[in-house]
């Protein structure tokens, strides 16, 4: 995966984190829980995609720290 794609995925996570602030103020508890679960799954999937891509390139070593 090109670095541009990785950056786009990370920017997507940043946007989802901003959405979490909005969801935290949502008054309907059931709706809030459902949206939080969806956002959490999306963030997790996106992060796993970036990790997989970096590991494929051999960048998962100490130099990443």
Q: Which long-range contacts (CB under 8 A, 24 or more apart) does 34-40 make?
A: none
Give 54's contacts (C-beta < 8 A, 6+ positions apart). 6, 60, 64
User: Are 64 and 23 a contacting pair, CB within 8 Å?
Assistant: no
**Where exactly are the structural domains of the chain?**
3-53
User: What's residue 56's pLDDT?
Assistant: 84
User: What's residue 18's pLDDT?
Assistant: 84
Q: How confident is the model at residue 65 (pLDDT cuts 50, 70, 90)?
A: very low
Collapsing DSSP states into helix, strand and coil, what is residue 47? helix
Q: How confident is the model at residue 5 (pLDDT cuts 50, 70, 90)?
A: confident
Does the pTM of the predicted model rise above 0.75?
A: no
User: What's residue 60's pLDDT?
Assistant: 54
pLDDT digits (tens, 9 = 90+) for 13-64: 888 888 888 888 888 888 898 988 998 898 888 888 888 888 888 755 544 4
Measured CA to CA, the distance from residue 42 to residue 35 in angstroms comes to 11
């Amino acid at each position: 995966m090109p670095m541009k794609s990785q950056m786009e995925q990370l920017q997507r996570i940043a946007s989802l984190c901003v959405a979490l602030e909005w969801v935290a103020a949502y008054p309907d508890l059931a709706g809030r829980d459902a949206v939080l679960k969806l956002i959490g799954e999306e963030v997790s999937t996106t992060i796993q995609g970036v990790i997989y891509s970096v590991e494929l390139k051999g960048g998962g070593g100490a130099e990443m720290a």
